Structure 1
């Protein structure tokens, strides 16, 4: 009996050892299962976040030079690799199926590659089809406004400055609203916009920006009309500008059947007071031959209110006429080569002439004799080699 009493604790201990070991194994298995569940949840969250986030970008690198220092597109007789060279990164986060947040960061060689937010906005499309955006947006005045810096989306080496340089700002802070009418074989889009902006590198503030545009496309033909206005305040060309009204009107159209391409725009800018009113236009024709697209462009710009400044006293009319009057016609011939997927190489030769008795609107064309309105250059030839890529 004593033997059994002494052996009982040992037997109980021996019996409990497998049970304890089994309990430890069960706990470890449960922990491992929980870890797998956590990892699965983390993977699902990462996948959901990845599905909501889109990232892309574009880059351009260019060599430009000119036969003189007139300054067309800021080109000089020396080689320049910064003008027209740029890089952009764009991120889109799909908050929901109808709501997006978009951020586009730009770095330009001409601005020492400083990083600047070109786009930063929130958009929402309502069930009825109306789309509203708010934040920092591209001002929608031109055919290529949305792709102004995306060289790959353009047939030419650069948008014609005769038209696109007449508006000295490209983005504004504010909002827009648009609606697409789906017709039988085409789409009609109405857009209204408003906000404020500043002119980069100048002491000018733009307030009460407002306007609208209408466009129609059947994916071969595109037609577009736009109106915009703003109030200008600040200093320009030595003039104090006090809430002067500026009005922009534009018409554009394009035809692209996959082989033949034609695109053109006509614009006017009218500003109260002594700042220059302008009229400008261009037309581009191109033809795709496999991976090559040769093109030609004719463009012009001229001030339409020279008499406003010429009627001033000489001490005012001469400097203002020299600084503000412009007249220029440009002829471009180029070739786009889609060398590989998402990469295009472009060669362009642009000849600008017909300056009249103006500098042609070129910053490097200095006046020789203010009384006779003689300038250093009466024409200029610009060479461009450029690559554009998207990723």
Structure 2
């Protein structure tokens, strides 16, 4: 039987009205009974809401420094405690058995701890297993896109910047649709997505419209392979308006795979970004190998990136600003110190810049020598990642 909580105070007040022939004891008992019903219904309603709501979060704190001012990952010879430090909170509310609302708020030290919504979407799962989402979503281009900021879910101190830095937006407003095809011991997930995004920070003001793409991922929980393609129309300006970008098309192609048997870990990704006009096309990739020894996971990573259309930019200053080449070697260890907390130590050596800056903002050009001042850089990182 349904009972409207709003009518209960009225019912209780009516119970206090004197009624001819009714004993005081009976009236008191009736009031007590109604009050008990109110408390029971309120408790049931509260418990129902609590059961529908899930909350979790993550936090990372890091110390980074470098042997020079090249600014790989923002590191210089001074200690930096902001660049890789962040905190996020995620809440989900089950509206019903098929519909869910999700909100993720993120604060980064490099952004002065400003609060931003990385995820804010509504999802609906159809009876045939198709899942549809709409709102603000993470752009699904990389192996670690869904938990890009959750350092605890990653084996290394940070995803290789040679691969992950060439897409300047991480979220988009729009929707996606996904479907899981279940086999005997594995799953194939097909996904299509579309929407728009905007980047307006520092010297970049760019709109990404008509964003569309799709991915396919297969896993048996030991092996995983994934392929993704996306494209968007790009309009705006970079370098503070010095280089207009007028309705150019950008495309992204990526393939990746991983192997994890509980002891040995291998992860690899290869990507290619192409942009019409003078903006740079990039090819990049990495391979990470790790091995778990009790609570320790030593790992090594080799990553590279290079621009593939340098012939489009043969004159200064565009060739100096946009032509890039770099190889990075990382060695580190992850220590799962306590439940839900990992401490990571990482040393990254970046080199092989060729006649470019290596894509590093702190590597200055010396007109007297006709070359950049720095040929390599070392970056030291100590970081903790936790989930709660």
Give the TM bin, normalised by the shorter chain: over 0.9
Distance in structure 1 (CA, Å) of the matches to 2:32 and 2:337: 53
Measure, in 1, the Cα distance between the counterparts of 2:43 and 2:330: 54
Residue 235 of structure 1: aligned partner? 237
Partner residue in 1 for 2:372: 375
Q: Does 1:110 align with 2:107?
A: no
Equivalent of 1:365, from 363, 372, 375?
363
Any stretches of 5+ residues in structure 1 without a counterpart? 1-18, 311-316
- Number of the residue aligned with 1:194: 194
Instruction: Pick from 315, 332, 335 the counterpart of residue 334 of structure 1.
Output: 332
Give 1:83 shift: 0.5
Q: Is the 8 A contact 1:250 1:265 kept in 2?
A: yes
Residue 313 of structure 2 corresponds to: 309
Gapped runs of 5+ residues in structure 2? 1-18
Q: Which residue of 2 aligns with 1:29?
A: 29
**Partner in structure 1 of residue 78 of structure 2:** 78
Please say if 1:384 is aligned against 2:386: no
Partner of 1:12: none
Higher helix share: 1
Q: Shift of residue 184 of structure 1?
A: 1.3
CA contact (8 A) 1:357 1:373 kept: no
- Listed as ranges, the matches of 1:38-187 within 5 Å are 38-187=38-187
Shift of the 341–231 alpha-carbon distance from structure 1 to 2, 3 Å rule, reads same
- Using the TM superposition, give the Cα deviation of residue 373 of structure 1 relative to its aligned residue in structure 2, in angstroms: 3.9
The residue matched to 2:317 in structure 1 has which SS? Answer: helix
Q: 2:301 aligns with which of 297, 300, 304?
A: 297
Distance 1:45 1:58 in 2: 29
Task: Give the secondary-structure state (helix, strand or coil) at the position aligned to 1:307.
Answer: helix
Residue 20 of structure 1, CA deviation:
9.0
Partners in 2 of 1:197 and 1:364 — Cα distance?
A: 28
Hey, what does 2:217 align to over in structure 1?
A: 215
| Residue 88 of structure 1, CA deviation | 0.2
2:250 is equivalent to residue 266 of structure 1: no
Distance 1:351 1:140, change over 3 A: same
SS in 1 for 2:78: coil
Distance 1:39 1:152 in 2: 42
Note the aligned Cα RMSD (angstroms).
1.3
What CA distance in whole angstroms lies between the structure 2 residues aligned with 1:61 and 1:161? 18
Which SS does the other structure have where 1:199 is aligned?
A: strand
Please state whether the residue corresponding to 1:361 is helix, strand or coil: coil
TM-aligned CA deviation for residue 239 of structure 1: 1.2
* 2:261 paired with 1:257: yes
Partner of 1:325: 323
Structure showing greater Rg: 1
Q: Distance in 2 between matches of 1:196 and 1:179?
A: 22
Question: Given the two structures, how large is their TM-score scaled by the length of structure 2?
Answer: 0.93
Q: Structure 2 CA distance, aligned partners of 1:21 and 1:148?
A: 73
Preserved CA contact (<8 Å) 1:358 1:373: no
Q: Is the 8 A contact 1:70 1:364 kept in 2?
A: yes
**For residues 347-366 of structure 1, what are the structure 2 equivalents within 5 Å?**
347-366=345-364
Tell me how far 1:200 sits from its aligned partner: 4.3
Give the drift of 1:24.
1.1
In structure 2, distance between residues paired with 1:74 and 1:268: 24
**CA offsets, 1:166-185, max 9 Å, x none?**
10010000000000000111
TM score, norm. by length of structure 1 = 0.92
Q: Is residue 258–residue 288 contact of structure 1 (8 Å, CA) maintained in 2?
A: yes
Secondary structure in 2 aligned to 1:318?
coil
